[in-house]
Structure formats: structure tokens, C-alpha cells
Structure 1
Amino acid sequence: MRILEVREKTCPIASPIRNAYIDFSKMTLSLVAVVTDVVRNGRRVVGYGFNSNGRYGQGALMRERFIPRILEAAPASLLDDSGANLDAHKVWATMFRNEKPGGHGERSVAIGTIDMALWDAVAKIEDKPLFQLLAERYGQGTPDRRVFVYAAGGYYYPGKDDRQLKDELRSYLDRGYSVVKMKIGGASLDEDRRRIESALSILGPGQRLAVDANGRFDLDTAIAYAKALRAYDLFWYEEAGDPLDFELQATLRNYYDKPMATGENLFSMQDARNLIRHGGLRPDRDWLQFDCALSYGLVEYLRTLDMLRQHGWSASRCIPHGGHQMSLAIAAGLGLGGNESYPDLFQPFGGFPDGVRVRDGHVELPELPGIGFEGKSDLIREMRALTE
């Protein structure tokens, strides 16, 4: 078997929303298709992938470096020992050839997107859901198909008032979510406190609110918010400062003893390890949000999970950023704590297969080969248009 071609397309996911740092008015992502010569269930096997929102499409890097390296490699060098399937680790090593260490950023997004498509293809060739394949190869053998998900929203929006914020969050709760998230840091502390209290006012028993500053604060502002947020029973206080300011994160624990979350903007095992070593995070209450689609893909994510185990962390403390089905499959197969979800944003790339409903804050993954993109009709139409 062999990879016949790898295609990439830059897609717009623009929206008038903003968080504390950026607006999404010109946001894009890369959609990738890895086309193989294998046929399963009457169709040629094509693996699909895309990068998470918040980082732009990486087509130039893919076309100039990573896709040519795959296509120029001897086909047999990309296969597993059986010769009947791709070896995602070997393909990853081929993409990373002649790359210097460090500088994890846009490169990690480009490789992570292609890596997603490779794993989709690998599982389809095995004719298994990716979560089942991962459980068998790297997990406990049996996946937990019921995965916790929370609803991310609460963005700043032109003309959006507290009533509209409550209506938005209430709509997520009505759809079965038990945890909802809103943005902070894009307004004054007093205004954000009012917004938080408005959001809290609609929550019922067993429902929680998380807040996300998107790395906006310096230390003094992060502490000021921490002191104010202590009055609320929040699910977490997310990414207060710059993602690489580990000292800020470590200092913040002295002012906030409730759960914190960070990590979505760290794009390698090495950066994740520095966070664990120097960020003062607490494995009994804090959450890690590393996103495989932004951080070199599942091959690197497996290294990150190994590192976490060595440092006394459980995979169950990981709830990835991104709201995509790849992380859902990893969560089910490898025992992560859950996954982010965007019920109304960044479509058709966010969300779940058709017919999947959120119940008591959880979804149950259907038995679909690969990542399961074929089960989401609006998404698979976009993906198949890339190759057909």
C-alpha cells in the first residue's frame, strides 16, 4: 500500500467574536486529505484532518516542506511491520526530517494537522474507530466511549449585553451541557465580575461555570482577578497569563487555591514538561489543555502523556482545547478527562456526528471507522470536496 497524494486547502472560519487577545474576523484553518490506494467498504481510504481554531491555516509550510517529504519517501519506509498499514510514527519522523529542535509554533500546527489525517487513515484501514485502535495499542484495551464535554462560548461580541450572554449559556445548558465557559479579560475587572455574576445566576444544581482569560494578564492583573474570582465556585480559571510565563502561573497558586487550567498554547512535549516542572500546577485539582491538532499531533501527544505519567499526573487531568473529534477519540481511547466543545461556533469543523446528543455533560461516541468524520454530514461534504 502507499500514500497517493496529500491535499491541503485553506478554509475560512471567520466570525465577529473576540476574546481578550484576538478577534476571529479573518480566522482560517487548513483542511488536509491523505489519499491512499487502499479500498475499504467500497471506497478508497482517505484520511482527513484540520487544525484547531485560534491558529491560522498552515498551507505554505505543508506544501513547501512536509507534504513533499512524505511523497518523496520510499513508500515502504512509511509502513508498519505488517506492510499493510501506515505507521504514523514513521510518517511523523519523515515530516520532521531536517528540522531543528525548538521553535515550536506554526510548524507544530502544520505537522499536527497532517498527523490527524494520518491517524484517520490508519484506523480506517484497520476498519476500526480510532478510539478502539488507541485503547488496544496504547490504553487499557477497552475504550470508554462516554466522554465528558463542556460548552465553550461567552465571547465578546459587538453589542452583546448580559442578557444575550445568559441566553447563549442557557442554550448550552438546555442542550445537555453541565459546564459552560465564558471569556474574561477583554473588559475591566468590574465589568467582567458583573458578567460572571450574570452567568452564575442561570446555573442550576450540578452546573458549573469556567472562565478563560486567553493569556491576557500580567502578574498584578492575574492576581487581582484571582482575588475576585475566589468568591465564586468556578470550574476553573483558565490561562491567566502568557502561556510561557511559568513563573506567573506558579505564583498565581499562592492567590488562588481553586482549579486552574492552561496548556492549549504549548505545542510540544518539551514545553509541556517545562510547564509541569516550573508552572506550579497541582495534579489533584488543575487541568491541562494540550491540543494534539496544534502540537505535532497524536505522535507527540503520546510522548506528552508518557511525560505526565513520569511526573505523577493522570491522563484524566487532560481536557484538550479545540473542540474537535480527534481529541474526543483520544479521550475515549486513552482515558482523558474530557474535551472542549463549540456548540455554535467554527462550523462545520466543531461538534459531533449527526445524532450524537449531550446528556448530563457527556456524549457517547458512535461506532464509526477512523475519527468519525463521515458521521457528520456537513463536515464530510466539505472534506470530500477536497478530493472528489
Structure 2
Amino acid sequence: MRILDIRERTYPISSPIRNAYIDFSRMTLSLVAVITDVVRDGRPVVGYGFNSNGRYGQGPMMRERFIPRVLEADPGDLADDHRDNLDPAKIWAAMMRNEKPGGHGERSVAVGTIDMAVWDAVAKIEDRPLFDLLAERYGSGTPDHKVFVYAAGGYYYPGQDVSALTDEMQSYLDRGYSVVKQKIGGAGLDQRGFDTDRERIEATLAILGPRQQLAVDANGRFDHETALKYADLLSQYDLFWYEEPVDPLDFQLQAEVAAAYEGPLATGENLFSVQDARNLIWYGGLRPDRDWLQFDCALSYGLVEYLRILEMLDDHGWSRTRCIPHGGHQMSLNIAAGLGLGGNESYPDLFQPFGGFPDGVEVRDGYLIMPDLPGIGFESKSDLYAVMRELAA
């Protein structure tokens, strides 16, 4: 058993939307295909992966460093010692050979993207859903077939008014989501921007029904004064969470916000290693009884590293149910179901065809039922698989 080829192509996911920090007008991502020598139904088994939105495609780094290391390795060194399959941990180690520790930046995205494709291939070789495989190997033995998902949107874009925002949020509620998320901080950090965000928040809250909640996301934009000013405002509302108020690596300021804000906080999507995640737990002031962790395997060296993060959380008394990964993709959905996480993000309309779930999967009362599909299940999302199939052809 061996990997015959690994292919990467960069695709645009550009959009006129913006959050408090960046706009997405030139955003890209990398799509990867891992082609194996295992043949099923006359075709080679191919695993697919892509990186989450918010970080650009990493093609040059993959092609120059990480892909060659895997293809140059002895196939026996990448094989599972106990199963007739590939070993994701061994492939991960091959990619990271000759890489210095630290510097967990864009290379974590490159490795995480390839890692996703490897896990897709591994589960397909076993002809079973990835979430089922993960539950057996690393979870309770029984996956969660019913998974909580929330709808992420509420970006700023040209010409948007409050009515357009509430129409968007209502469309998510109409599709079965019970929690919706919108951006804050993008209208400016002056008083005008603050007043605009207050109006946007209160407009969305006004359309929510029983057992429906709003989450807000500052994308790490706020300084000390602004983060605390918003904390005071948001304390008036029953929010699902106040997300990433400050720079993701400013653990001291994060702790100050946690001390001032009694409601749930969420952060972690821009921390890309087990070391960074541990520092957040040690120094970020987060509270295991209410706060949420959003580490995203596709941005943080992949599932191999995410398993280390979960082990670290176990050691520090955090429940896996406090983890709701960023990214809105099917990989994290499988991880949530297989490893007993608290749920998953969803982009019902944005970053297509990469965001969203397989065709026909519906959200009801904030939950979806996991489809029984081999691997991650990309083949059952027709618009996405059309792009993937072209890369692997």
C-alpha cells in the first residue's frame, strides 16, 4: 500500500464580505488530492482536503517541502503497523521532518490540509465514515450521530443595512439553526461603529424565538479599552458567546476580558499548535464551565495535532464538549461526531463550494444527523466533488 501522488491546486473563494480585520476579496485556499494505489470499483482511492477560510492557499510550501517528503519516504515507513492501511501519524512525521519547533504560522495550514486528505483516504480504504473510525480508535467507541451546528454569517459588505442583516439571520433560522453568529467591530472602533454594532445586535436579537441565541465575533480586533467596552455592552444580552475579542496570542488581555465578562467567551481558531493551545489554557483566564474552544484542525497541523490538543485538554480538566471547531467544513463535522465534541460551525451560504454539508442533509432544531458516507463524505456534496474530481483526474 502506498501513496502514488499528492496534488495541490489553489482556488479562489473571494467575496466582497469583510469582518473586523480583513476582507475576503482576494481570499484563496488550497485543495489537495492524495492518490493511493488501493483500487475500489475500478478506481484508485483518493483522499481530499482543503484549508479553512481566513488563511490563504499554501501551494508553494506544500510543493516545495511537505509533498516531496511524503512521496520520497519508503512506503513501508508510512504504513499502519496493525492494519492494512496508511498511518496518518507516520505521514505527519514525514511531512515535519527537518522542521524546527516553533513558528506555528502558515506551515501549520499546509500540513493540516494534507493531513485532512490523508484521513479521508484512510477512512475510505476501510470503507467506513471517518467519524465512525475516530470513535473506535480515539473516542468512546460510539459516535454521536446527532451533532449541534450553528450558522456563521453576519459579515459586513457594501450596501448592507440592518434589514439585510436580519434577513440573512432569519434565513438561517428558517433552515433549522438555533444559534446564529454575526460580526462585530467592522463598522469602526469609534463611537459610531460601537453604536452601529449595538443596533445590529439588537436587531438580530429581536427576531430570535424561544431557544434561539446569537453569538458575536470580533475576530481579534479590539484593544484593551474597546474589548472591555464591548464586554460591558454585551453583558446586557443573553448571548451564546463573545468570540475572539482580542489578539489570539495576547493571553493576558484575554484573561482580563474573562475577568470582566461573566458570559461565555470563545477563542482558539487562530492558535495553530498544541503548545499555543496549552498556553491559552494556562494563561488566558478561560473557564471550563462556560467558555468555548475553537481550534481548527485544518489550520493547526491537522487531526494528528488536534488529537494531541484534546489529550492536553483532558489533562487540564476540560471536557471535549467545550470544543466547537472553526471552519464550517465536513472534516471538523466528522471530528465532532467521532470524538464527542460540542458541535461544529457551519457556513450555509458562504465560501462555496467548500463550506456546508452533503446534499440533502438538513438541520433541525440546531442539529443534523450524520450521513453514513465513506471517508469525510465529500463525494456527496455535488458542487464540491466536481472540483475535487477534476483535481484527481
TM-score computed with the length of structure 2 as normaliser: 0.98
Correspondence list, 1:83-122, <5 A: 84-122=84-122
Correspondence list, 1:24-39, <5 A: 24-39=24-39
Q: Secondary structure at the match of 1:386?
A: helix
Correspondence list, 1:1-388, <5 A: 1-82=1-82, 84-187=84-187, 188-388=193-393
User: CA offsets per residue over residues 238-293 of structure 1, 9 Å max, x none?
Assistant: 00000000001101122110100000000000000000000000000000000000
Structure 2's unaligned 5+ residue stretches are: 188-192
| Aligned 8 A contact 1:179 1:207 in 2 | yes
**Deviation of the 1:354 alpha carbon:** 0.7
**Deviation of the 1:154 alpha carbon:** 0.3
Q: Secondary structure at the match of 1:84?
A: coil
**Deviation of the 1:100 alpha carbon:** 0.3
**Deviation of the 1:371 alpha carbon:** 0.4
Give the AA of the match of 2:115. Answer: D
TM-score computed with the length of structure 1 as normaliser: 0.99
* C-alpha distance in 1 between matches for 2:347 and 2:95: 30
* C-alpha distance in 2 between matches for 1:41 and 1:79: 23
Give the AA of the match of 1:346. Answer: F
**Deviation of the 1:83 alpha carbon:** 6.0
Structure 1's unaligned 5+ residue stretches are: none
Structure 1 residues 83, 202: CA separation in 2 closer, same or farther (over 3 Å shift)? closer
Greater CA drift, 38-47 or 253-262: 38-47
* C-alpha distance in 1 between matches for 2:17 and 2:359: 26
**Deviation of the 1:42 alpha carbon:** 3.7
**Deviation of the 1:203 alpha carbon:** 0.4
Moved over 3 A (4+): none
| Aligned 8 A contact 1:181 1:210 in 2 | yes
Q: Secondary structure at the match of 1:180?
A: strand
* C-alpha distance in 2 between matches for 1:249 and 1:266: 13
Give the AA of the match of 2:336. Answer: A
Greater CA drift, 222-231 or 249-258: 249-258
**Deviation of the 1:39 alpha carbon:** 1.3
RMSD: 0.7
* C-alpha distance in 1 between matches for 2:239 and 2:42: 49
| Aligned 8 A contact 1:76 1:83 in 2 | no
Q: Secondary structure at the match of 1:8?
A: strand
**Deviation of the 1:40 alpha carbon:** 2.2
